Amino acid sequence: MFNFLVTFSVLLICLMGLSLSLEVYQTPSEVLLKRGENVQIFCHHEKTNYRLMQWFQQSPGEKQLKCIAYLLFKSQTTYIEEHLNVSGDLSQNDPKNVSLNMFNLKGPDHSAVYYCAASEGHSVVDSLSALQKPCVTQYVSL
């Protein structure tokens, strides 16, 4: 059986008013999976007005981060990749909890470091239509 390592890390990105003091917690930190398995990554932060959560993927040897999914408020959920599902409720004034679910993992395609980022979201809502991705570009260079 082919095993591969999926690593999850926290990314603090300066996106439209993101405070550098924001702490984002992501679990699990590492997981070893077999091809075809599923995984769920949890992301949590305490800022009650940060209602945009984004997920990025960094493949081995790559310097760029690819935006793979995001959740904006409760009713504006978007999945960028077919094998992903994002769930959570960012509409309440409570600590924010979001999960990224990946299904039927395919070894080399999914062996990567995954990052979670948070932002207020109101700038995105005000300046973009709901049909546009908050990931202004699909890739972020490190």
The closest of 26, 121, 108, 1 to 71, measured between CA atoms, is 121
Per CATH, the homologous superfamily of domain 3-141 is Immunoglobulins (2.60.40.10)
Q: How many CA atoms lie within 13 A of 132 on its CB side?
A: 11
Q: What is the largest CA-CA distance in the chain?
A: 48
Neighbour count for residue 113 (Cβ, 10 Å): 18
Whether residue 117 contacts residue 24, with contact meaning beta carbons closer than 8 Å, is answered with: yes
Helix (H) or strand (E) holding 18, with range, is none
Neighbour count for residue 22 (Cβ, 10 Å): 16
- Beta-bridge partner residues of 25: 44
| 36 secondary structure, DSSP code | T
Determine the 3-state secondary structure of 123 from DSSP: helix
pLDDT in the model for residue 124? 43
pLDDT tens digits for the chain (142 residues)? 445 555 544 333 333 334 456 788 888 888 888 888 888 888 888 877 777 788 888 989 998 888 888 877 655 556 667 667 667 766 666 667 888 888 888 877 788 888 888 887 654 444 444 444 456 444 444 4
